[in-house]
Structure 1
Amino acid sequence: MDIMTKKHILKIAIVLLTLSGFGVAFSILSLPGKLPEIKLSDQMPPPQPQALTDRRIANVLLKRVQVLGNTPETFLNYVDFIKIGPRKTVYVFDRGVNQVIQFDLNTGQIVQRYGKGLGKGPGEFNVVTDFEVDNDGYVYVCDSENSRITIFSPNGSLLSTLSLSSPPLGIALLKDKYIAVQLIDPKNDALFEIYQLEKNRDKYKLKLIKRFGKFFEKQAALGLLLNGLITGSDTFFVYAPRRIGWLTAFRLDGTLLYHRTTIDPIPVPKLIRQGAVTRVDRNAPRATFEVVIDGNKVYLYAGKVKMESNSIYMIDLYDAYTGDYLFSIPLPERFGLLAIRDSLIYATQDTVVTVWHWQLKED
């Protein structure tokens, strides 16, 4: 294959997205040839192990307090993401109608919809891989297929469509209109980009601040291994890959805050080449299904965890500023995706969102 043909194929390499109940699985059309060796980059220190090696199971009282989406007027088709907004509002992305839907927690009613459905036009989405809601109720939607972020006002009107150079997989909102974006780019070793959202009159634009996040040598060819989740605090964001037992935090300027193993230090999985498609080994264990920052804690939903003679669905808690493991919350049943705010757990379960209050029991 000559150089020009290789360049042409690289330009048209696309991400293939397979939707599942726990999020999005990725594979990529790639150039033929041997995959590079999986080798950690010297630009990142090795992940620091946890001081604790076994889970601390907390004695927790969990009580279901609300169910959203369980009436004919609020029916949901396929809930794929869930976020918490200001003033007791809950937002979900319903892939069945390709819209972000806002609920009022007090009434259980739908109060707003964001997006016009499937498509490439203004306010339309093709493949949504994440969304976020800021403290004022503005909604930011990542559309991987269209390689853009769409911003909506709190009343549902379209404000701006911001194009990116690569498909965005995740978004984290930080202070002063800084935005962290996780990418998948077969031409770029950086996993993240930091932008600042600027507004001039009624026009918005993204100013690129920094590209960073090289975990592997030749990462552009190994980026599928790093498909993960990001969540933001004011001055930093936390990243957790779906199939590697890591918890990593970066500051606003892209410098590393910490790089830790999780309480289950799941190793880097294998990449499988099948014809023109490369994917992550489906038999590899899952490290996380969701990661959320609330206050000074990171909540990592580990899914079903083996505990002696049985398995329990578990949320693991870490110190948000150091990555130190703290303790785990056992769940009474299977949750889907999670959002957590002020002692409330918002969990997707089939076509509804259940809201649980949790607290530590006194000894």
Structure 2
Amino acid sequence: MRVLQLIDSLEIGGAERMAVNYANALHQRIAVSALCVTRNEGDLKELIDPEVPYLYLKRKRRLDISALLWLKRFITEHQIEIIQAHGSSYFIGVMVKLVTPGLKLIWHDHYGKSEFLTERKTVVLKRFSRFFDAVFAVNEKLTLWSKERLKVKKTFYIKNFIAEALPFDADFKISGAKGKRVVCVANLRPQKNHHLLLDAFKLVLEQDSAYTLHLFGSVPDSLNAKSLVERIEAEPFSKSVFYHGTYLKMSAILPHFDIGVLSSDSEGLPLALLEYGQAGIPVIATDVGQCRAVLGDFGRLVPAKNKEALVEAVLSIDFKSSKIKTCAEKFKEKVKQHYGEEAVLNELLQVLNRFK
């Protein structure tokens, strides 16, 4: 089998990280596993296995003929049979399929606003979906949506998976009292609702000033992200909130923290949740997207946009309780068994074999 992962960017994000994860993991299991980024390289390039065939198209326009021909040559050179096009890269995926006889195209839908699918813009997507041989979706809502709205019968729920944890970085230094270091790994986008998290954390500090909040993630070029960074710097509690920016090797440092949180208004299947589980720390997440199915009874689910529930969940975690430790350990095992590389890749390969 010869598969190409197609993605528009290698900036840090869920879809981008999964494209790299798939390229690296499949490299050990199939004849050819390649990766092509169409528009912008980014930090995630550092994580690509050097043995994975890689192409950067430097695509400047939506319909860039030179980039299209370059991609076609790459596909021919490596005898690619299947393209797994992540997110918005489906456009050039369809274009190259039309000029490459026999090429199969699978669209991988990572849409993060699965709670707001009625607001999703679909005019172009619906026109292009007739050329999809299948759709992979990261949660069950998106799977049903593709079947009903795009009329793609071969739509599969394919879980996100997490790569093997890196060795623990004992030298990484963080501030805060042990047992009260809260971490959130999420890019500063509106649907992640960091403002709600800050509102809740402010109330937490009123009851226990020893807590610290540590934020990791990129800052998109948006007013929301800029206002969030400005707020962190301006608030009276700024000495208790630490924005660390982007960090590629989160699995090496997450065990330093005590509680992992997600305050999102909407999600697909968040990799951060899997990373918290892999690190073995207690988890609090809003009940959106696939979070309930992933977390189950091994963490705390709270309603979206409810800061009081988030405050109560943080303050209720008692590290003297054996239940907290047991739940974290059970969630860690669940992540390994059901969302680890081996488990998900076995499911994926069974599906891909249908398109050979």
TM-score of the two chains, using structure 1 as the length reference? 0.27
Q: Which has the higher helix share?
A: 2
Higher relative contact order (CA 8 A, sep 6+): 1
